[in-house]
Chains A and B, each alone.
Chain A
Amino acid sequence: MKILLKGGRIVDPSQNLDGKMDLMIEDGRIVEIAKEIKKKASSELKIYELPGMIVAPGLIDMHVHLREPGYEYKETILTGCEAAVAGGFTSVACMPNTAPINDNRSITEFIIRKAAECGLANVYPLAAISKDSQGVNLAEFSEMKDAGAIGLSDDGKPVTNAALMRRALEYAHSLGLPVISHCEDTALSAGGLMNEGFVATELGLRGIPNSAEDVMVARDVILAGYTGTAVHICHVSTKGAAAIIGKAKKDGIKVTAETAPHYFTLSDEALRDYDVNLKVNPPLRTEEDRTAIRAALADGTIDVIATDHAPHARTDKEVEFEYAASGMIGLETSLALGLKLVAEGVLTISQLIEKMSVNPARILNLPKGTLTVGSDADITVFDPEKLWSVDTALFRSKSKNSPFQGWQMKGKALLTIVGGDVKYSEYED
């Protein structure tokens, strides 16, 4: 089956491409990009007329929790992939904090096999840094890499032991595996439920100080600089962390960073009604932090927008704020919130696609994030003007814990193509 995408605006920052062009897909690959490709539709060729649409390299979310194995009541690889392609994502990297933890070959292989059976988005497992993510002994990086793991993280459980982190950086670097660090000093954040500041003071909730994040980011960039290795900082939420990363980059340290849509969209002011869907770790910070995160996205300090898609069932959330699980889903709202940054003049459309496709591919060493002729046909087509309102009841994700319920959004993926096959479409009759 061949596919011809006609008349869309192709935006591919990997080759500085931005213009109205046609794109031809054959045998799972991109075979031609030209001003005009003239073909007739047939049983062999499907043509999509895409005036006003943006045709981009398939979006990549390098930070999701698919919950399988172990927490299938929250999400499965299948429902997570359905949410991904509906949100315009052709690839996701899934965190290892499943049950059991993905700290060995068999779990990595299980995830890859399950994802292949689903046949929707590409699923790239991230494996644990330490055995059982306990922060004591290194997990078997080489073997997990052989099994298909593409990076390492103890996400959710920061590596508190600096010596272990140093060893992880060194060993992983020699294998070409990126280390993705969840930066949190757990002694400083202990018992914390939301950002420490005026809102927490008024609400009587224990705070998580910015410093809990900042000191760990500082530690990790110092270790990366000292060992000459690379480190990727997860879900940056503070002004201080952004400043430390910015300085480290200037100093030539190989540090990259991501933030999540909620950190550039919301602040702790939103928590005044104790809405458990706003409980997330790191917490929503102050307006000052939110402004700094947007600036860090604009100036390139933050390379990636990743959702930290964290599905939780109603039973995990419909409890007192203190007992509610942390995290929010994001796969089906991320693109629209990213486009809001474009509408607000923070990013250009090209920069947005860099942060949602090109850069994550580069950091994870994936042969993705590009529309160059010959590459895999992973393509996201979206309407930047389409108005829609968030109704979590219609979400593909098994869990509904989105704080954006009821929001009016602008911009939506209409066609998600993975390896040349249409995996999500709002065009078919």
Chain B
Amino acid sequence: MKLAKKDILGIKDLSVEEINLILDTAESFVEISTREIKKVPTLRGKTVINLFFEASTRTRTSFEIAGKRLSADTINISASTSSVVKGETLVDTARNLEAMNPDIIVIRHSAAGAPHLLARMIRQSVINAGDGFHEHPTQALLDMMTIRNKKGGFGGLKVAICGDIAHSRVARSNIYGLKKMGAKVAVAGPATMMPRDMDKMGVEVHYHLEEAITDADIVMMLRIQTERQNQSIFPSLREYSSYFSLNKRNIGLAKKDVIVMHPGPVNRGVELSPDIADGPYSVILDQVTNGVAVRMALLYLVTGGES
């Protein structure tokens, strides 16, 4: 089976079959990263540009490693959004990159919809590495891969996604993906961090962490952006961590075999107590490992690879 898409812009656009294809392909790539010589020639001669308009260590490194393990030439461009606003536009940047004939452009941007603009402008494949509060499809795919590995599937699972839902692209992509795959999703966060009409996304909406995590199979904690304190979205970090942090006490409400996930980077002691982040429930580092495999799979599939 081949992926019939030029671009990976969001989970919303993917079918169940496409998600399974990506996850299966990712599984087949896991082994490469455990070899002595961690490199296969699959994408030799292909060029991948990582165009990052927003700071990122984890995602950018993960894409770079994924490309290199498949022998693609990977180039990283870190552009600051402010210089782009002042000078060259995204459209000009895109046309210039296109003229150099890369095969894939991976883009991270603080403005929702920026990857869509890029994909309309250029003929090469575009992979969204996170756009504003909109989507982060590769994160959701690596999360789904991790869940599938640990739980054997998705049917009947309850996934609680907790924290700043309004400003989270991770939450949106996971909601689309997990619901498509048959899981139930509950979200929890302060009312000020819950976007309007959230229930219409087909999720349970809670304003108390405890309600959402009760009997959950998976608890996914989101990173709280500490700078949002200044926007009157929550009173203080102290109050937030008292009421919305996952800790030894409240994790007992979840299922016994619960797994705890986090897209990183973790604010230790804020949304996750350190003993939970490092404890037996945590699969945070598995997520990171799977991230490389998922991104290898996408680079392979958008360039026409078959499973």
Contacts and interface: CB of A to CB of B under 8 A. Distances in A.
B201 A321 contact: no
B113 A318 contact: no
B48 to A, nearest CB: 22
B196 A203 contact: no
A197 B117 CA distance: 23
B116 A322 contact: no
Nearest to B114: A320
Given A198-B196, A198-B197, A274 B113 contact: yes
Contacts of B197: 197-198, 201
A203 B112 contact: yes
A202 B172 contact: yes
Interface in B190-207: 195-198, 200-201
Given A274-B113, A321-B112, A204 B85 contact: no
Contacts of B132: 204-205, 322
A196 interface: yes
A409 B74 CA distance: 49
A58 B190 CA distance: 55
Given A322-B111, A322-B132, A200 B90 contact: no
B91 interface: yes
B117 to A, nearest CB: 6
B198 A201 contact: yes
A203 B111 contact: no
A205 B110 CA distance: 11
A274 B117 contact: yes
Interface in B204-247: none
Contact of B90 (A202, A204, A273, A320): A320
A119 B200 CA distance: 54
Contact of B196 (A200, A204, A319): A200
A88 interface: no
* Max chain A C-beta neighbours (<10 A), residue from B110, B131, B197: B197
Contacts of A203: 112-113, 134
A209 B195 CA distance: 11
Interface in B52-94: 85, 89-91
Nearest to A206: B133
A73 interface: no
Contact of A274 (B89, B116, B195, B201): B116
A209 B132 CA distance: 19
B111 A323 contact: yes
A201 B176 CA distance: 13
Nearest to B92: A318
B89 A319 contact: yes
A320 B111 CA distance: 7
Given A320-B113, A320-B114, A197 B91 contact: no
Contacts of B201: 198, 201-202
B169 to A, nearest CB: 6
B109 A320 contact: yes
Interface in A267-322: 273-274, 315, 318-322
Contacts of B196: 196-198, 200-201, 207, 209
A274 B112 contact: yes
Contacts of B112: 203-205, 274, 321-322
A233 to B, nearest CB: 24
A208 to B, nearest CB: 11
A204 B91 contact: no
A315 B89 CA distance: 9
Contact of A323 (B85, B169, B172, B198): B85
A204 B114 CA distance: 12
Contacts of A319: 89-91, 117
A207 B113 CA distance: 15
B132 to A, nearest CB: 5
Nearest to B168: A204
B135 interface: yes
Contacts of A198: 196-197, 200-201
Contacts of B172: 202, 204
A321 B91 contact: no
A198 B200 CA distance: 7
Contacts of A320: 90, 109, 111, 113-114, 117
Contact of B133 (A197, A204, A274): A204
Nearest to A191: B231
Nearest to B198: A201
A255 B134 CA distance: 40
Nearest to A274: B113
Interface in B99-114: 109-114
A264 B241 CA distance: 46
Contacts of B200: 198, 201
Interface in B241-280: none
Contacts of B116: 273-274
Interface in A182-226: 196-198, 200-207, 209
Nearest to A207: B196
A197 B195 CA distance: 8
A322 B117 CA distance: 12
A94 B131 CA distance: 38
B131 A204 contact: yes
Contacts of B91: 318-319
A318 B198 CA distance: 30
B89 A321 contact: no
A207 B194 CA distance: 12
A209 B197 CA distance: 12
A200 B117 CA distance: 17
A203 B112 CA distance: 7
B113 A200 contact: no
Contacts of B195: 200-201, 207
A197 B196 CA distance: 5
B89 A204 contact: no
Interface in B120-139: 131-135
* Max chain A C-beta neighbours (<10 A), residue from B12, B135, B195: B195
19 contacts: A198-B197, A198-B201, A201-B195, A201-B200, A202-B172, A203-B134, A204-B112, A204-B134, A205-B132, A205-B134, A207-B195, A207-B196, A274-B112, A274-B116, A318-B89, A319-B90, A322-B110, A322-B132, A323-B85
Given A197-B197, A204-B133, A319-B90, 4 more contacts: A196-B196, A201-B201, A204-B112, A318-B91
